[in-house]
């Protein structure tokens, strides 16, 4: 399978940190990649732990950045959110919801188990048109910049192995076991159909 033919999606809750870090890394490596959030709204850290700043998915990364600069530039610079928003702006205009996308992918990576559950549930309720398989793989990562980068590098390694495989279906289980042994992380994996 060539780089251009492997269609990859990465999904976290808000399409802000983890999925966008993976999107950035995979795009630099030449993969056909899109990223999404699976939540109902985009949630960013607020001034209090239980008071997030909430945006609709249609809000651009640029609008969010300008809003957070207005609210508290120093806070959002020191916690890295302004840096993340700047990176995101260079990749695409605004976050996207997975539930609103009808594109087909070969592999969908999720960044936490609750997102994995949402993606699988969404795929199961859709009408199957082609019976084309899609592999949904969860690579758990904490929602911080360091773990987002480490998790994204694991996703990139998996994609590189998959695009080199002559038989993706036949070699995926073995590949996941090998990467589990190497990284100490375990993966959830389900095959759904379009």
Regarding whether 104 and 166 lie in a shared domain, the answer is yes
pLDDT digits (tens, 9 = 90+) for 52-92: 999 999 999 999 999 999 999 999 999 999 999 999 999 99
DSSP track, 1-60:
--TTT-EEEEEESSSSSHHHHHHHHHHHTT-EEEEEE-SSSEEEEEEETTEEEEE-TTS-
Q: What are phi and psi of 81, to 5 degrees?
A: -65, -40
pTM recorded for the entire structure = 0.95
Residue 169's pLDDT is: 86
CA distances from 78 to 61, 81, 82, 143, 155 (A): 18, 8, 9, 16, 27
pLDDT digits (tens, 9 = 90+) for 144-153: 999 999 999 9
90 vs 1: which has the higher pLDDT: 90
Nearest to 21 by CA among 154, 157, 146, 148: 148
pLDDT at 3 over 50: no
Q: Which of 4-13, 54-63, 121-130, 169-178 has the highest mean pLDDT?
A: 54-63
What is the number of domains present in the chain?
2
Regarding whether 71 and 132 lie in a shared domain, the answer is no
Domain of residue 107: give its range. 7-38+97-193
**Domain annotation covers residue 1:** no
Regarding whether 184 and 130 lie in a shared domain, the answer is yes
Regarding whether 141 and 104 lie in a shared domain, the answer is yes
User: 36-40, 47-51, 138-142: which has the minimum mean pLDDT?
Assistant: 47-51
pLDDT at 1 over 60: no
* Domain closes at, from 56, 75, 91: 91
Angle at 37 between CA 35 and CA 42, to 5 degrees: 130
d(CA 57, CA 61): 10
Nearest to 65 by CA among 88, 39, 92, 46: 88
Q: What's the mean pLDDT in 157-163?
A: 95
Q: What is the DSSP letter of 116?
A: H
Regarding whether 115 and 146 lie in a shared domain, the answer is yes
Residue 30's pLDDT is: 96
pLDDT at 193 over 80: yes
Six token digits for residue 73: 């530039």
């Amino acid at each position: 399978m060539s780089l251009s033919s492997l269609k990859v999606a990465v999904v976290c809750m808000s399409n802000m940190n983890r999925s966008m870090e993976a999107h950035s890394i995979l795009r630099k490596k030449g993969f056909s990649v899109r990223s999404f959030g699976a939540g109902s709204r985009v949630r960013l850290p607020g001034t209090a732990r239980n008071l997030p700043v909430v945006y609709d998915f249609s809000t651009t990364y640029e609008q969010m950045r300008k809003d957070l600069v207005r609210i508290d530039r120093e806070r959002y610079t020191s916690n890295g959110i302004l840096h993340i928003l700047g990176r995101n702006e260079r990749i695409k205009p605004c976050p996207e919801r997975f539930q609103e996308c009808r594109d087909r992918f070969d592999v969908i990576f999720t960044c936490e188990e609750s997102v994995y559950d949402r993606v699988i549930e969404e795929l199961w309720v859709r009408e199957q048109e082609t019976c084309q398989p899609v592999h949904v793989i969860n690579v758990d990562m904490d929602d911080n910049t360091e773990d987002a980068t480490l998790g994204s590098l694991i996703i990139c390694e998996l994609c590189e192995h998959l695009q080199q495989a002559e038989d993706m279906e036949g070699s995926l289980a073995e590949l996941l076991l090998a990467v589990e042994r190497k990284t100490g992380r375990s993966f959830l994996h389900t095959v759904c159909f379009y």
